[in-house]
Amino acid sequence: MHITPLHPTFVGEVSDLDIAVPLSSDQAATIEAGMDQYAVLVFRDQPLTDEQQCSYSRNFGELEATLIGQMSKPGERRLGPVEIGDISNLDPSGRLRARDNNRRMYALGNRLWHSDASFRATGAGYSLLSARVVPAYGGNTEFADMRAAYDALDEKTKTEVEDLTTEHSIAFSRGQLGFDNYGEGNADMIRPVHHRLVRTHPVTGRKSLYLSAHIGTIVGWPVPEARAFIRDLTEHATQPQFTHAHQWRVNDLVMWDNRTTMHRARRYRDLQDVRDLRRTSIKGTEPAAMAAE
């Protein structure tokens, strides 16, 4: 197994490994060490079934259910288990979603820079995204290195952000785009949670900015002041020197560490071209943050 760096501060491409078959514990440990170093790993030419993707993902912890899966009724889902995130533009019958389809509106939130499941009390660890069908052009996924972004802050800002606690909810990111239709009985799912703005990676000890479009305010701050500041920090953290664009090929698998990165999807012709990606996520194991109370 080899890892080739694709960016000066993060992202490596793994070669000479077949992840569709069971891994030895040494191999899994090597990948995990690579994740600690690179935060994003790219695997090319890995045709996977959903079951193989789940098996591979379990090398790194317990699978997490997707929020939209939990909020959906059974008939609204295209894929089976709620651990398989449906990152596609297809409806349950496998046809392209209509322009005003509610799931399409919800999924547009993925075009905002975010860290997966930061709206949960314990945010996600890794996410793993497998490309089954990719569009002719557009639809890149971009990643931002939140360790390098933290390191590049001036000392005054580091001091200012050190002890801040932010409030995250899926309702904040979707609210930015004017979406608020979550369906009945889902009020609990959108209740805000608290996280530290600066977090420390449990293995490497490196600090990073824990930013996400799901942030709605900073605890103790007036909301508009908090949002303006979070926007400034996000703009800082997503400058070209901290980001990498992944251009998808069929059978790519990309895995990233949500504790140290943000990501977003870019626009594509989603009313014409199929884009079928499937995501698994690993539950976080430690509180991303102590709540303010």
Partner 1 sequence: MSIAISERTQGFVGEVSGIDITQPLTRAQAAELEAGMDRYAVLIYHDQHFTDDQQKAFSLNFGPLEQTAGGNVTKAADRRLDPDMADVSNLGADHKPLGRDDRRRLFNLGNQLWHSDSSFRAIPAKYSLLSGRIVVDAEGNTEFADMRAAYDALDDKTKAEIETLVCEHSLLYSRGTLGFSDLSDEEKRMFKPVRQRLVRTHPATGRKSLYLSSHIGTIIGWPMPEARAFIRDLTEHAVQPRFTYSHKWRQYDLVMWDNRSTMHRVRRFDETQVRDMRRTTVAGDTVTVEQLAA
Residues that bind partner 1 (CB under 8 A): 99-100, 104-105, 108-109, 111-112, 174, 176-179, 216-217, 222-229, 231-232, 266-267
DSSP assignment of 144-177: EEHHHHHHTS-HHHHHHHTT-EEEE-HHHHHHHT
Closer to partner 1 by CB, 75 or 224: give it: 224
CA distance 137 to 267: 9
CB of 268 to partner 1, least distance (A): 12
Question: Alpha-carbon dihedral of residues 272, 276, 282, 287, nearest 10 degrees?
Answer: 0
Half-sphere CA count of 160, side-chain side, radius 13 A: 11
CB of 106 to partner 1, least distance (A): 8
Structural Rg of the chain based on CA atoms: 18
CB of 291 to partner 1, least distance (A): 21
Other beta carbons less than 10 A from residue 2's beta carbon: 9
Cα 52 to its chain centre, rounded Å, is: 20
CB of 166 to partner 1, least distance (A): 13
CB of 191 to partner 1, least distance (A): 17
Q: Which residues of 112-131 are buried (b: 16+ CB within 10 A; e: fewer)?
A: bbbbbbbbbebbbbbbbbbb
Q: Where are the beta strands (DSSP E) in the chain?
A: 2-5, 12-15, 40-43, 85-88, 126-133, 141-145, 165-168, 193-196, 198-200, 207-209, 215-218, 243-246, 253-257, 261-265, 276-281
Closer to partner 1 by CB, 19 or 170: give it: 170
CB of 47 to partner 1, least distance (A): 31
Q: How many residues does the chain have?
A: 293
Closer to partner 1 by CB, 202 or 222: give it: 222
Closer to partner 1 by CB, 112 or 134: give it: 112
Q: Which two tokens stand for residue 109?
A: 């939130």
CB of 224 to partner 1, least distance (A): 4
CA distance 127 to 33: 16
CB of 255 to partner 1, least distance (A): 25
Closer to partner 1 by CB, 12 or 216: give it: 216
Q: Which residue has the tokens 């990948």?
A: 31
Closer to partner 1 by CB, 96 or 179: give it: 179
Closer to partner 1 by CB, 46 or 89: give it: 89
Closer to partner 1 by CB, 111 or 206: give it: 111
